[in-house]
Structure 1
Amino acid sequence: MKRTIRAAVAAPAAVGLAALVALGLAGCGSGGGDDRSGPGVRIGQYAGFSLFDAPTYAAFGTGLMDRAARDGGFHAERKTVGNGTDLIAGMMSGAVDFGVLPAATVMAVNAKRGAPVLKTVSCTFDGAAIVFVGAAKYEKTRGDDITAYDGGNWGYSKVGSQSEILGKLVADKVGIGWKNQKGIALGPVTAYVPALKTGKVDIIMTDATGAALALEQKAGYVVHNTNGSAEHFAQSAACNGLVTTAAFAKKHPKVVDAVVRTQGEARRKLLDTGSGALLSLMTPDFRKSAADGFPRAWELFAPAVRAADTNPVDVQVKAAVEYARIQGVPNPDPKAIDVGEGR
């Protein structure tokens, strides 16, 4: 039986500031150490087939990355990392050259380091990638009215996660106040569907994968999708995207341009392809292990990807700085986002 892609919203986003301090002080490798035929480029991808890495899977699955590497005189490969902490550690050591992180996380690393060691070179999706899913029993009576969940049990992954932060922001935005809600940390996405079905929670905040799982198992319905929507989340344009080290970018600017351009082509292919053909774009390992639920999850996530291509860069940078401040990042530096023309 095929496995469902995991809810990976915590992977790039849940890097605590304490961990960032250690990582930020650990030094930074230049990357690209394998010179078999030009620089060897290692593109990090999260374990569990994260939606955030969909452009990477599509870039390799369609042959776009191989073509770019051949034309650019380098060779590229995917390298799996466990989570955001592992990705940052890999980039710091030079074992990984690229990966997807929220700009707020990049700003946090740079702030703790006291130098711009990481840089976001392309905004690949905007916002916090959170979907609010209500228990199925409430769909007819409550619909998309978030205020109807006032005083209820609100489920999220863990304290300090993007899912909890968005719960707080949206509850306050719609006027019911987070302090009046009963927040419950549910842990992994596998706990979400049982929690909705048993009544342990009335509403959950999860990523598109977790939302798709709840919909498929008829445990819930979409109350509000923050992807591509500024209705209840003012920082919905905050940049998240492809990150590399400042050292690698300085040493291999043409490689950075090629990888960014190729990822952009892959994103557009994903956005322009119908749900029935999406999997044909992906790598064999993705098609084999992550097929279940992907089209529906991508449908929920795609507005955030599309927004990254249409929102002006200055708007993305401003929103990212604001969101970083909300998350407690000290002195977030907008220069952490170094997005050029066509990126």
Structure 2
Amino acid sequence: MSNNHPYKIIPDRITKLAENQIFVFGSNTEGRHGAGSALFARQYCNAEYGNPQGRQGQSWAIVTKDLNKGIRSIPLPQIKSQIEKLVEYAKTHPELEFLTTRVGCNLAGYTDLEIASLIANFNLPPNIWLPQEFVDCLIEDKPTLKVAFTGNSHKKFDEEGWKQVRNRLEGMIVRACDRALEWGYKRIQFYSGMALGVDTAAVEIILGLKDKYQYPIEINLTAAVHCINQDAKWNNLDKQKYHWLLSQCDAIKFISNLPYQEAGGIKCLNARNRWIVNQIKNAHDMMIAIWDGQAGGTANCIADAAKLNRRVIIYNWVTNTYQKLGNW
């Protein structure tokens, strides 16, 4: 990370904002806001027609195009100075969250790498969210093995059963790291949905890997959070642990920027699982599943992975057996 906190990644699709959120979009010198994210900002975020830049209701405009000159018409140093103003404003308004789109790309003609290189000059505050494309550019490119998790809730286990399952899970994670080294990867990227149980246990284990095993490989962790109040019904102790674990991740991917019910309820949970499955797509990538063999969210996630012929290794903790799905 270039910052001392995780990168926050915007949802793939934003349809509305929560009250404290600001939509950051690319504008033009005339402030017409007539297409793409600019049109969304005008229609739903109070962007002012004719106002080319700065805070406008629940939006923030960055001028990236001169309509009279076409693409790449606003010099990168000018875009950088506007990003600097956004960063300074965000630092003085920690109560707000700034959801930044791919400003300067698409209609303005710059590449994700060019804009991300401007952003890399700043120590971003934790309330600025970025698109996945920018974050990918900000992280050094190197051969990466991707490993995702799915598993049962903590409510399913008694104390002794949970101890056994956690030991099995640690063994599977260590084995994945060993294989990454054998296959010549320089980074292993883990994905967790952050549900109480297998997901959060995996995060705790991963955070301890560097100290316990001294792996000569970069270990990264992305939390996939299905909504902004995922922990709303949890007790205080679980909430504290959850937010600490999030703070230790390299990135937090928000599937939705809205609270649970506004995000679609169970639909956003399923969308979270599908997003995680879609990250494991290369030859050696895999999903680790800790499952009791029963219907539910874990079963659905395994089924989604199987349909796409993803590599899945399942530990059934009821029968104490392993199973592999996909192309091993």
TM-score range, shorter chain: under 0.3
| TM-score normalised by the chain length of structure 2 | 0.26
Structure ranking higher on relative contact order (CA contacts 8 Å, 6+ apart): 1
When the two structures are superposed, what TM-score results if normalisation uses the length of structure 1?
Answer: 0.25
Point out the structure with the larger strand share: 2
Select the structure of larger CA radius of gyration.
2
